[in-house]
């Protein structure tokens, strides 16, 4: 294997946020540890959002404290505004995932703000974050919106350009929040983004319509080398009607293994983490490899 890929585990955050009943903090920490033991070294461990809007993330500070003790783990917390930023700083976070939507309707549904209000707030955070803070800017609904439909590629690229201008070195994630992007659309957007601004982009995919893995492959072919996924295929955005789980980490790892791409992941330990995630009460697991007998035997 000569090529490598960076994988970011999002089950502790995106995988759990939509579950109604509160998942015990100890369960969240156990999931963080299990995915870490599988070799995953990038992880979204929670988000500093309104506990009224997303009560599942109310204990993010506690989870982050434990996660930061794991050697070599890059643990990110999501932040939608200045209040979340201040809470993250007070909790000792040094890796932030800022987020907003490309479309006006989803931004209002998800964050109760206009796009311009969100962008102004997040731009100020990029400028004012303490030295040494690593920031990734996540763009929800880059390809499709549950309220506005397919996002015109020119509209997506114009908004990406505004984000790039905030910090030329900042990583930017393009998210298929609804899982309704098509592989040709994903390929074109990534090709144009890479051509214009270089290889700074990550792909965050969902599998609502069964196209998650095809979209991962399309982004890879277009030059993307950073991918989000959730062990067990759990998750979904609570403010994107109909959107289901993230693309499953075990499916993504298997795809890259078959392509000869090094992931740094221990396959059997990943299956343990995927089973743990899928067994969380209230979770809606997805993916294929966890359920394929031959896959469970593969080294």
Q: Which residues contact 278 (CB under 8 A, 6 or more apart)?
A: 232, 233, 234, 285, 290
Q: Which residues contact 197 (CB under 8 A, 6 or more apart)?
A: 160, 161, 164, 168
Encode the chain in three state secondary structure.
CCEECEEEECHHHHHCCCCCCCCCHHHHHHHHHHHHHCCCCEEEEEECCCCCCCHHHCCHHHHHHHHCCCCCCEEEEEECCHHHHHHHHHCCCCEEEEEEECCHHHHHHHHCCCHHHHHHHHHHHHHHCCCCCEEEEEEECCCEECCCEECCHHHHHHHHHHHHHHCCCCEEEEEECCCCCCHHHHHHHHHHHHHHHCCCEEEEEECCCCCHHHHHHHHHHCCCCEEEEEHHHCCCCCCCCCCCCECEHHHHHHHHHHCCEECCCCHHHHHHHHHHHHCCCCCCCCCCHHHCHHHHHCC
Phi, psi of 19 (to 5 degrees): -70, 130
Active-site residue flag, 237: yes
Q: How far apart are CA 180 and CA 182, in angstroms?
A: 6
Catalytic-labelled residue, pool 141, 145, 224, 237 = 237
Residues labelled as active-site residues: 237
């Amino acid at each position: 294997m000569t090529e490598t890929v960076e994988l970011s585990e999002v089950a502790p955050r995106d995988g759990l946020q939509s579950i109604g009943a509160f998942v015990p903090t100890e369960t969240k920490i156990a999931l963080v540890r299990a995915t870490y033991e599988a070799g995953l070294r990038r992880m979204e461990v929670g988000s500093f959002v309104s506990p009224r809007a997303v009560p599942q993330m109310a204990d993010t500070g506690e989870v982050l404290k434990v996660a930061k003790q794991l050697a070599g783990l890059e643990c990110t917390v999501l932040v939608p505004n200045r209040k979340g930023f201040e809470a993250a700083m007070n909790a000792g976070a040094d890796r932030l995932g800022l987020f907003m939507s490309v479309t006006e309707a989803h931004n209002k549904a998800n964050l109760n703000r206009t796009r311009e209000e969100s962008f102004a707030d997040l731009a100020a955070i990029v400028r004012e974050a303490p030295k040494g803070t690593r920031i990734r800017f996540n763009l929800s609904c880059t390809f499709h919106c549950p309220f506005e439909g397919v996002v015109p590629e020119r509209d997506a690229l114009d908004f990406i350009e505004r984000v790039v201008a905030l910090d030329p070195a900042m990583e930017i994630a393009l998210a298929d929040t609804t899982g309704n992007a098509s592989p040709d659309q994903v390929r074109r957007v990534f090709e144009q983004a890479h051509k214009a601004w270089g290889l700074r982009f990550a792909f965050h995919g969902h599998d609502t319509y069964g196209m998650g893995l095809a979209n991962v492959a399309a982004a890879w072919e277009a030059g993307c080398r950073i991918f989000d996924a959730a062990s067990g295929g759990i998750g979904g955005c609570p403010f994107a009607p109909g959107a289901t789980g993230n693309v499953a980490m075990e499916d993504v790892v298997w795809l890259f293994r078959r392509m000869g791409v090094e992931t740094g992941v221990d396959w059997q330990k990943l299956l343990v983490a995927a089973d743990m995630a899928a067994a969380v009460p209230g979770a809606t697991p997805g993916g294929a490899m966890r359920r394929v007998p031959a896959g469970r035997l593969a080294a």
